[in-house]
Amino acid sequence: MNAAVVRSFDRGPQYEEIEVPEPNSPHEVVVDVLAAGLHHFVRAQANGSHYSSRGENGLPLIPGIDGVGRLPNGQLIYFVSPDTSIGTMAEKTIVDLRRSLPLPDGTDVVRIAAAMNPAMSAWVALRRRIHFEPGQKVLVLGATGNSGMMAVQIAKLFGAGQVIGAGRDQERLESLKSLGADVTVSLAGDLEEATKCLGEAASEVDVVIDYLWGQPAALTMLPLLKKRSDRSRPLTWIQIGSIAGATAAIPSAALRSANFQLVGSGQGSVTMAGYLAELPSLIDTIAAGKLQVDAVTCPLSNVAEVWDAPTLAGERMVFVPAVRE
């Protein structure tokens, strides 16, 4: 079979012919992969920078953490890869059936492969990491990316009373309004100024869904808390992504001067059983067209050429092996 294979963290995956992998347990089965999304996690997996990386010991590896496939009996499934070197960017891969869910025939496989990972981030965070109640106000920090755009829509679906979206790209910010954002705040230009404005606009939120971390997060905290009408009212900051910096200098006053709680959400902070319990309703929501999904497809055979090519903001690349139906 053909697959995207990473042999060194210095070089993106190359399209190679390799042996079809073999199942190792009664729960495992070989599936035909129909579509697999190129998520940030997958890039980090392929360059060795993800926190789950086993370093050189994990090489060679086939990247890819989830996808849509077809079982030998013809059943269409969405699946999350077991944490091994055999990922989803291949014509065939190993699926642990306990980490898979059936999809109805006729499901748009590209849409599911593009949307599940970015959408899962806010969905699982709001359902599993905090107690979110309809009517609560939400700030999405990094709302112009794929995951942030999903977070805006999911917060609204869950009944948020107000959703504020913050990001740099003006066009994407504008488009958030049609997805449910009540207010948008630009982070472009001088970051100190921008975060001051954001703090004022978002001073009454109950939840922050943060895809940026780094300076934008650190600089927003105090301006937001200073303007808050009642600092004893809980504010939960959910750390999900760190596209603007892996570390953030959190002002100590933020933790002392307000009822400020910081939690994270991602692989490890939520059990696999917790994720799997949420996935059927998320799949239904995506399949029913309730979330806007911007996917671009690429044949898997072009993986080496497109791996480092920039995609348009908000678009998620999905690799499709040649055998796609």
Ligand X SMILES: NC(=O)c1ccc[n+]([C@@H]2O[C@H](COP(=O)([O-])OP(=O)(O)OC[C@H]3O[C@@H](n4cnc5c(N)ncnc54)[C@H](OP(=O)(O)O)[C@@H]3O)[C@@H](O)[C@H]2O)c1
Q: Which residues bind ligand X (CB under 6 A)?
A: 40-41, 117-118, 121, 142, 144-148, 167-169, 172, 187, 211-212, 216, 240-244, 265-266, 313
Q: CB-wise, 258 or 270, nearer to ligand X? A: 270
CB 235 to ligand X: min, Å? 20
Tell me how far, at minimum, the Cβ of 212 lies from ligand X, in Å.
5
**Nearest approach, Cβ of residue 65 and ligand X (Å):** 10
Taking the least distance from each CB to ligand X, the nearer of 203 and 265 is 265
Cβ neighbours of residue 144 closer than 8 Å, sequence gap 6 or more: 165, 167, 168, 169, 172, 173, 176, 313, 314
What contacts 65, CB < 8 A, 6 or more positions away? 39, 41, 42, 45, 80, 81, 87, 88, 117
Classified as helix, coil or strand, 115 is: helix
Closer residue to ligand X in complex, CB, 211/260: 211
In the complex, minimum distance from the CB of residue 291 to ligand X, in angstroms, rounded to a whole number: 13
**Cβ closer to ligand X: 272 or 313?**
313
Tallying the residues shown for the chain, one arrives at 325
3-class DSSP assignment, residue 3: strand
Cα 304–Cα 5–Cα 307 angle in degrees, nearest 5: 25
Cβ–Cβ under 8 Å, residues 76 and 103: yes
What tokens were used for 92? 């065939």
84 vs 269, which CB is nearer to ligand X?
Answer: 269
Dig out the tokens for 227 from the structure.
Answer: 């303007």
Q: How far is the CB of 229 from ligand X (least distance, A)?
A: 28
- Select 216 or 223, whichever has its Cβ closest to ligand X: 216
Q: Provide the residue type at 134 as one letter.
A: P
Task: Return the number of the residue (72 or 310) whose C-beta is nearest ligand X.
Answer: 310
To ligand X, the closest distance from the beta carbon of 303 in angstroms equals 18
Smallest gap from Cβ 312 to ligand X, in A, equals 9
d(CA 12, CA 290): 34
Residue partners of 155: CB distance under 8 A and separation at least 6? 122, 126, 138, 140, 163, 180, 207, 209
